[in-house]
Amino acid sequence: MVAPMAASAGETLHPVTFDDLPGWTEDDHAAALTSFRRSCAEIRDAGRAFQRDIRFGSELDALACLASSAERLRLTRPAFTADDVVEIAGGVSHRAYQGRDDPATVQQRIDLLAKYALDVADPKTRGRACEAICGLVNWATWRSRPAPVALPPSVRDEYASLWPRIESGLDPDRRRFHFLEYASLLPLRLQQDEVREALAKQETQRAAALVRIATIGQSEKLRWYEQILDQARRAPNLSQRSAMLSGIARCLWDMDPDLSLRVFWEGLKIAEEEGFKPQHHDVSDWLGDPNPYVTPEECLRYNNSYMPNEPQKAIQALWAFARAEQRPSHRDGVLESLAEMLLRQEDAPQAACVAAILSDPARRAKVWTAVAIVARGKPLREDW
């Protein structure tokens, strides 16, 4: 073992022992060996270096700094171990969400991570730590709906104070993404200014996405959405207009499912009248993908990928919309989406009632099969 090379050209390298390294004797080598063996096993089994997609993997340096801070404070040490997991030495698993964990337990764990984050000395890493916690909160809230998990106010206050420094280090494109990703950490005034700027630049779907994640009241969000919809409806390019309406409808789904369905069908009507063909969609659709939704299934697929905050409100909206829809194919599309949402609520009897009124035999068979699966106590597949 040799000492690190010094900056001065007059100094030379010389051998040292492990005991000469600062902190070596106090470190937990058993814990380090466990992590080392885990990584070696994965590389050995795969025959190559790590290739897996790790959730929040970009925050590894922040979590490592949290571990260092906790050690200095003589607390149990958090260490990144796997997707969405922060494991605490001593056998306590700090997972952002586990099926058996209630939201109160998840909240306690996130509050502990916030305590570590605010003690990080380096401002840049402290900001990364706040972003990591924000990501965990968003993911845990999505998984534990309808019970939300709150971002600790101390994290939001700290990030707001660091934002000028963080913003100065971002190029314009990266800043756009960064703001959208962590807008909930920033002051309300900055969120509102960002929406105004997006509207002024005719970035309609970005404005809708910003309003969706903004920490403002529902009445103010609806006022913003009125302006956004007005701008979308005036778009001269019909393909872009249809795509904008679809993206805005997605943003509206959780807050106002009735309005969301009407806007979806407004965009769908344009797509059908213009004869637009189905094209590939991904998560960027609500940020400006030019491809409109051209079938009821495309419109509703995203809405059923997670359970909204108020499931009954969404269920009632789907039922009312299906009853008012005159075209059998469109009505069946909405009813199938309704059945899926009921089944994800484990309400097989009501889903069976919906299956009975479907006019398309293929859809009816699909829903009946899913009803039988849920009735036996088995989970419904994501891609049912």
Closest Cα to residue 18, out of 32, 34, 35? 32
**With bands split at pLDDT 50, 70 and 90, how would you rate the model's confidence at 8?**
very low
Closest Cα to residue 157, out of 122, 214, 117, 121? 117
**With bands split at pLDDT 50, 70 and 90, how would you rate the model's confidence at 2?**
very low
pLDDT tens string 157-170? 999 999 999 999 89
Cα–Cα dist 187/158, whole Å: 11
Q: What is the pLDDT of residue 77?
A: 47
User: Is pLDDT of 330 > 90?
Assistant: yes
User: Is pLDDT of 224 > 70?
Assistant: yes
DSSP string, 150-177: PPPHHHHHHHHHHHHHHHHTS-HHHHHH
Closest Cα to residue 93, out of 101, 126, 64, 27? 101
Average pLDDT (278-290) is 58
pLDDT tens string 126-135? 888 888 788 7
User: Is pLDDT of 92 > 60?
Assistant: no
- 103-104-108 Cα angle (round to 5): 115
Q: What is the pLDDT of residue 39?
A: 59
What are the extents of the domains in the chain? 318-384
Q: What is the pLDDT of residue 36?
A: 60
**With bands split at pLDDT 50, 70 and 90, how would you rate the model's confidence at 229?**
very high
Average pLDDT (38-42) is 58
Give the containing element (helix H, strand E) for 251.
helix 238-252
Structure tokens at 169: 């280090």
Average pLDDT (195-210) is 92
Q: What is the pLDDT of residue 363?
A: 93
Cα–Cα dist 47/215, whole Å: 46
- 78-113-38 Cα angle (round to 5): 25
Mean pLDDT for all residues in the chain: 77
Distance of CA 258 to the CA centre of its chain: 23
Structure tokens at 268: 């769908």
Average pLDDT (1-14) is 46
Average pLDDT (30-54) is 54
Average pLDDT (1-26) is 58
